[in-house]
């Protein structure tokens, strides 16, 4: 919340076959996310969300919306992905995190690009990476724009599976449409990663970024371009944030 509520209305505009598969819950810090921390109890009850997300998902489930949750932690993010993709043998697969916003016409463009591609074909994207309600990263290297980030769409097949979630990797190598190309097609999404304080509080706990909340609050007081590393203690690059 509140971002999860923005998706369905946009998906319902699609003129292509679609299905929204949602896996909700706590995952253990193992595998490709073993560097994360255990999710503190204050953020969940019976390993489900306590901010209204669980109730919202129950209210929209059915038809094109499939929701899976369980009363125990998932064994890492890969298990969550496998659950989401259970029974999917072909088509185009996209990862759309709760705070990642796409327009319907963009999704349709991705579908048209990949529907006839070979299995494992991948598309990478740029995003508008928000670090406040009115602030976003404006540099194209480093934080929010690392070279390995934002693989978000794939041509699926029976023999395709993920071997990593962070970053997303498949078991097969195939054609990559890089973000320098997809950007020219208007395929840039909005990523509200650190837009509101509740997100930042969770990420300080989950990622172990000590001092993140205090730094984020100070960042919101700035005007004009600033080095993010001066406000986000875990950063050591030259990323710049600016008003938007």
> What's residue 29's pLDDT?
86
Q: Sign of the CA dihedral 97, 209, 217, 137?
A: negative
pLDDT tens digits along 104-154: 999 999 999 999 999 999 999 999 999 999 999 999 889 999 999 999 999
Summarize the chain as % helix, strand, coil (round to 5).
Answer: 30, 25, 50
> What's residue 7's pLDDT?
97
Please count the structural domains in the chain: 1
**Quick one: tokens of 178?**
């890089």
pLDDT tens digits along 152-167: 999 999 999 999 998 8
Q: Which domain holds residue 162?
A: 3-243
Region of residue 104 (left: phi > 0; alpha: psi -120 to 50; beta: else): alpha
Give the span between the Cα atoms of 189 and 7, in whole angstroms.
13
Q: Which residue numbers in the chain have pLDDT < 70? A: none
Question: Average pLDDT of the chain?
Answer: 94
Alpha carbon 104 to chain centroid distance? 17
> What's residue 20's pLDDT?
98
Strand 188-191 and strand 226-227: the pairing is unpaired
């Amino acid at each position: 919340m509140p971002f999860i509520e923005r998706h369905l209305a946009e998906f319902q505009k699609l003129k292509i076959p679609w299905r929204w598969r949602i896996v909700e819950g706590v995952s253990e810090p193992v595998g490709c996310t073993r560097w994360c921390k255990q999710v503190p109890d204050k953020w969940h009850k019976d390993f489900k969300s306590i901010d209204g997300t669980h109730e919202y998902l129950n209210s929209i489930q059915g038809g094109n919306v499939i929701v899976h949750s369980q009363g125990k932690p998932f064994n890492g993010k890969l298990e969550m992905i496998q659950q989401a993709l259970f029974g999917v043998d072909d088509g185009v697969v996209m990862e759309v995190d709760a705070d990642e916003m796409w327009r319907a016409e963009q999704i349709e463009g991705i579908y048209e690009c990949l529907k006839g591609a070979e299995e494992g074909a991948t598309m990478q994207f740029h995003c508008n990476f928000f670090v406040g309600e009115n602030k976003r990263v404006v540099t194209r290297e480093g934080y929010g724009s690392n070279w390995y980030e934002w693989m978000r769409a794939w041509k699926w097949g029976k023999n395709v599976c993920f071997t990593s979630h962070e970053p997303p990797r498949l078991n097969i190598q195939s054609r990559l449409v890089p973000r320098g190309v997809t950007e020219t097609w208007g395929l840039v999404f909005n990523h509200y990663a650190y837009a509101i304080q509740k997100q930042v509080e969770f990420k300080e706990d989950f990622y172990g970024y000590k001092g993140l909340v205090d730094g984020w609050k100070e960042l919101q007081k700035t005007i004009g371009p600033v080095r993010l590393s001066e406000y986000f203690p875990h950063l050591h690059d030259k990323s710049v944030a600016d008003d938007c």
